[in-house]
Structure 1
Amino acid sequence: MDKNKLSLLGNQNVAYDFNYNPDILEVFENKHLENDYFVKFNCPEFTSLCPITSQPDFATLYISYIPQLKMVESKSLKLYLFSFRNHGDFHEDCMNIILKDLVRVMEPKYIEVWGKFTPRGGISIDPYVNYGIMGTKYEKMAEYRLLNHDLYPEKIDNR
């Protein structure tokens, strides 16, 4: 999709969808096909619902990807993530759904989604998922990063 087909960027009359809606996601052309580079989104206000209790769950999401032909437009990503607000699913399911939706619309070389959820009942859950194009160095990268993604203790200051 080229920038002339982006319907959300700059639109002042956007309606927020309170129900999960992957069709909100819009993409545009990667103008730097010759380069491998990361695009990282830090999303500190992600909200979904516990599928059992319907209580809200809050997280900071980290989405990093190496684009191939298409890139996700950030306002559409924001509205897409907002659409989880009334979506009832476990943390792990939400992260896998987000990964799969972004792979579907962008077909990136590599992508990872990491949710850092605030504690409920004294336990925080931090699901990490990733994907690399099969049969390429990005598949090997995905395996390496999955096996090594959490080797170093982190300073947690958002919960």
Structure 2
Amino acid sequence: MTNKSPITLLGNQSVHYPTHYSPDILETFENKHGDNDYFVKFNCPEFSSLCPITGQPDFAAIYISYVPNIYMVESKSLKLYLFSFRNQGDFHEDCINKIMKDLIALMDPKYIEVWGKFTPRGGISIDPYVNYGQAGTRWQEIAFNRLANHDLYPEKIDNR
């Protein structure tokens, strides 16, 4: 993964979309507000991947929220990275965990969570949630509490 290097994708009109899973496409920039803790949230309503068994497409809305540390993920590189799952054969839970682990390796956030809300196939939807808080900080405890309580009030699902 491209960490702590210049941003090359933003504004580049000749960027090619990856055809295979590509964590190396991710880029960062410096957090100019390191003295503040704040959430950054990305919503990707058009995520797609492939079922590793049947090869059928899976569709989801992916929500990524994080509290930056020193570095932040650049949004165009994140878009291309998420697009790279399009031909990737992984279970829903694997996609969500890979996304989180790749972003942790990239930018070492204080806190991060990734939630995938997949459309149903076979009459059932799967909504995996994963999070992480830096060890030895208050964010580690916050991560546990959010994981334990993340879906206390589940949404009414009538559109999937």
TM over 0.5: yes
Structure 1 gap ranges (5+) = none
Change (3 A) 1:49 1:145: same
Change (3 A) 1:78 1:158: farther
Q: CA deviation at 1:158?
A: 5.3
The amino acid across from 2:65 in the alignment is: S
1:22 is aligned to 2:23: yes
Structure 2 gap ranges (5+) = none
2:140 counterpart residue number: 139
Q: CA deviation at 1:155?
A: 3.7
- Alpha-carbon RMSD across the aligned residues, in angstroms, is 1.0
Distance 1:27 1:124 in 2: 33
CA deviations 1:122-141 (Å, max 9, x no partner) are 00000000000011100000
CA deviations 1:33-83 (Å, max 9, x no partner) are 100000000100000000000000000000000000000000000000000
Change (3 A) 1:31 1:146: same
Change (3 A) 1:158 1:102: farther
The TM-score, its normalising length taken from structure 2, stands at 0.96
Task: Report the secondary structure of 2:87's partner residue.
Answer: coil
Change (3 A) 1:158 1:37: farther
Runs of 4+ in 1 over 2 A off after TM superposition: 155-159
1:149 counterpart residue number: 150
The TM-score, its normalising length taken from structure 1, stands at 0.96
1:7 counterpart residue number: 8
